[in-house]
């Protein structure tokens, strides 16, 4: 891709309406454009990153055996009246009337709709467990949409739902998502910590929020620092292995402010291990038993001939919020340098040729280099404008490709000035460059 042909509307300065670094950067490099309060269009750069995040989320869901479906954004109010949430959900729900005067709504979440799909065809315990997910836009008429796509009114969510025969099996499903979330966030190069949390309008009494640390986060958290040393590495998808994983995490105090209890915190965590800080909620998992299956009559035949309501959980990841969360975690706003994790970078490599009007050899070199890198599935952006080198580097630092190649006076013969952002530049050949990037791209993540 050439900068001159791309739709990357870069602003000279930070827009004054943006208060946190992710919102500033996303507007500054034209990743998004506000369409109305809390509602955004996604422009090429932002869309590319979000789609890459979505694909990682999808792959990790598929790996634990969740099946992808796609439910609509617009739902009928009928099923919400059955579950009893139509009134409870209050002003956050966007209510719509169709031309026949039927009450519809823009889905803020899908527990009811998926239960309706399930009950229409699953009748026996023999078909359990069922794990379903979709990745779809949601709408919540938040009173205070803010920080750009971090707290939007319209936002993109992966939401999964589990249906099981009893509590034990339902916890097994819950724990699969617990592990899958640790893995998903790790692939995004984030450390997300599961913390006991309030269940709000979704309900139930077991729930974990997955939180990444950030000063600009909206969640206040209280933790034992030692929880940051844990990982899901080595955990298999066996019941016992997953149980011990959750126990390993739950032995350390880690809660959001709604669950905070000063006495417990001080009793359980020694002073040097206490951490009180802020974070961003990037995922949230819930177990709520028969909260929806009972009022909506979603039951299955049991082995002895009796019937019982299925036990359900739901599992969300804020796909659009993650774009902002990664920026909060990775953007160096003092030096105005963004480095996307290679797994989601809009472009793997930025090629910056120094172009002199009378001499286009460096642009030709850049073109040849791009052709070579493309052959190895390495995605490249070239700054083919005739701006000076320092403004080109500034621009690429904001776009955030993790690697940069400068083609100028110093590039001699077959060697190129190559650098991983934040590291020293090196003179390398094309094949050495391809090797470094390909190895990083194919890195093995735990539990593949």
- Give the range of 155-163, 394-402, 412-420, 424-432 binding ligand P5A by CB under 6 A: 155-163
Q: Does 109 bind ligand P5A (CB under 6 A)?
A: yes
Q: Does 202 bind ligand P5A (CB under 6 A)?
A: yes
Min. distance of Cβ 120 from ligand P5A in angstroms? Answer: 20
- Which of 82, 103, 141, 142 touches ligand P5A (CB under 6 A)? 142
Q: Does 211 bind ligand P5A (CB under 6 A)?
A: no
Q: In this complex, which beta carbon is closest to ligand P5A, that of residue 279 or of residue 353?
A: 279
Question: What secondary structure, in 3-state letters, does 145-175 show?
Answer: CECHHHECCEEEEEEEEEEECCHHHHHHHHH
CB 106 within 8 A of CB 94: yes
Long-range contacts of 327-332 (CB under 8 A, 24+ apart): 327/21, 327/22, 327/25, 327/26, 328/20, 328/21, 328/22, 328/212, 328/214, 328/216, 328/217, 328/280, 329/189, 329/190, 329/212, 329/213, 329/214, 330/189, 331/21, 331/22, 331/25
Q: In this complex, which beta carbon is closest to ligand P5A, that of residue 64 or of residue 282?
A: 282
Q: In this complex, which beta carbon is closest to ligand P5A, that of residue 113 or of residue 433?
A: 113
Q: In this complex, which beta carbon is closest to ligand P5A, that of residue 164 or of residue 348?
A: 164
By CB under 6 A, the residues from 318 to 337 that bind ligand P5A are 318, 320-321
Structure tokens at 368: 């040849």
CB 297 within 8 A of CB 158: no
Q: Does 152 bind ligand P5A (CB under 6 A)?
A: yes
Chain residue at closest Cβ approach to ligand P5A:
318
- Which of 106, 118, 185, 315 touches ligand P5A (CB under 6 A)? 315
Q: Does 284 bind ligand P5A (CB under 6 A)?
A: yes
Site string for ligand P5A, 243-282 (x = CB under 6 A): --------------------------------------xx
Q: In this complex, which beta carbon is closest to ligand P5A, that of residue 312 or of residue 433?
A: 312
Q: Does 223 bind ligand P5A (CB under 6 A)?
A: no
Long-range contacts of 225-232 (CB under 8 A, 24+ apart): 225/273, 225/274, 225/275, 226/252, 226/273, 227/193, 227/252, 227/254, 228/191, 228/193, 231/182, 231/186, 231/446, 232/179, 232/182, 232/183, 232/186, 232/446, 232/447
- Give the range of 64-72, 317-325, 354-362, 364-372 binding ligand P5A by CB under 6 A: 317-325
Cα–Cα distance measured from residue 404 to residue 407, given in angstroms and rounded to the nearest whole number = 10
Tell me which residues touch ligand P5A (CB under 6 A): 109, 140, 142, 151-152, 155, 157, 159, 202, 281-284, 286, 314-316, 318, 320-321
């Amino acid at each position: 891709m050439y900068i001159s042909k791309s739709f990357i509307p870069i602003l000279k300065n930070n827009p004054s309406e943006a208060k946190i670094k992710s919102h500033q950067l996303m507007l500054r490099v034209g990743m998004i454009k506000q369409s109305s309060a809390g509602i955004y269009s996604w422009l090429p750069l932002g869309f590319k990153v979000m789609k890459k995040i979505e694909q990682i989320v999808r792959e990790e869901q598929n790996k634990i055996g969740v099946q992808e479906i796609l439910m609509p954004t617009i739902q009928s109010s009928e099923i919400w009246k059955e579950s009893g949430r139509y009134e409870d959900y209050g002003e956050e729900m966007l209510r719509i009337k169709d031309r026949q005067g039927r009450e519809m709504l823009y889905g803020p979440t899908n527990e009811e709709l998926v239960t309706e799909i399930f009950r229409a065809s699953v009748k026996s315990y023999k078909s359990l467990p069922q794990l379903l997910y979709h990745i779809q836009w949601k709408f919540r008429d938040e009173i205070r949409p803010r920080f750009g796509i971090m707290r939007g009114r319209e936002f993109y969510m992966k939401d999964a739902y589990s249906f099981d025969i009893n509590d034990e099996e339902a916890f097994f499903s819950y724990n699969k998502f617990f592990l899958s979330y640790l893995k998903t966030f790790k692939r995004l190069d984030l450390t997300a910590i599961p913390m006991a949390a309030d269940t709000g309008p979704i309900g139930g009494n077991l729930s974990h929020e997955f939180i990444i640390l950030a000063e600009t986060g909206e969640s206040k958290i209280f933790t034992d620092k030692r929880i940051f040393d844990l990982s899901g590495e080595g955990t298999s998808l066996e019941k016992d292995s997953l149980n011990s994983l959750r126990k390993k995490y739950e032995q350390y105090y880690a809660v959001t402010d709604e669950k905070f209890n000063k006495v417990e915190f001080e009793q359980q965590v020694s002073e040097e291990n206490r951490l009180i800080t802020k974070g961003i909620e990037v995922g949230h998992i819930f177990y709520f038993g028969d909260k929806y299956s009972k009022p909506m009559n979603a039951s299955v035949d049991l082995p002895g001939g009796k019937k019982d309501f299925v036990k359900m959980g739901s599992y969300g990841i804020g796909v659009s919020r993650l774009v902002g969360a990664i920026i909060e975690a990775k953007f160096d706003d003092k030096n105005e340098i963004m480095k996307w994790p290679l797994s989601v970078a809009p472009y793997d490599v930025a090629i910056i040729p120094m172009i002199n009007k009378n001499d286009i050899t460096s642009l030709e070199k850049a073109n040849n280099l791009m052709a070579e890198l493309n052959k190895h599935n390495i995605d490249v952006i070239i700054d083919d404008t005739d701006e000076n080198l320092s403004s080109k580097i500034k621009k690429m630092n904001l776009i955030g490709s993790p690697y940069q190649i400068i083609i100028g006076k110093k590039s001699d013969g077959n060697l190129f000035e190559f650098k991983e952002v934040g590291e020293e530049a090196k003179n390398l050949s094309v094949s050495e460059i391809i090797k470094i990037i390909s190895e990083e791209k194919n890195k093995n993540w735990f539990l593949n």
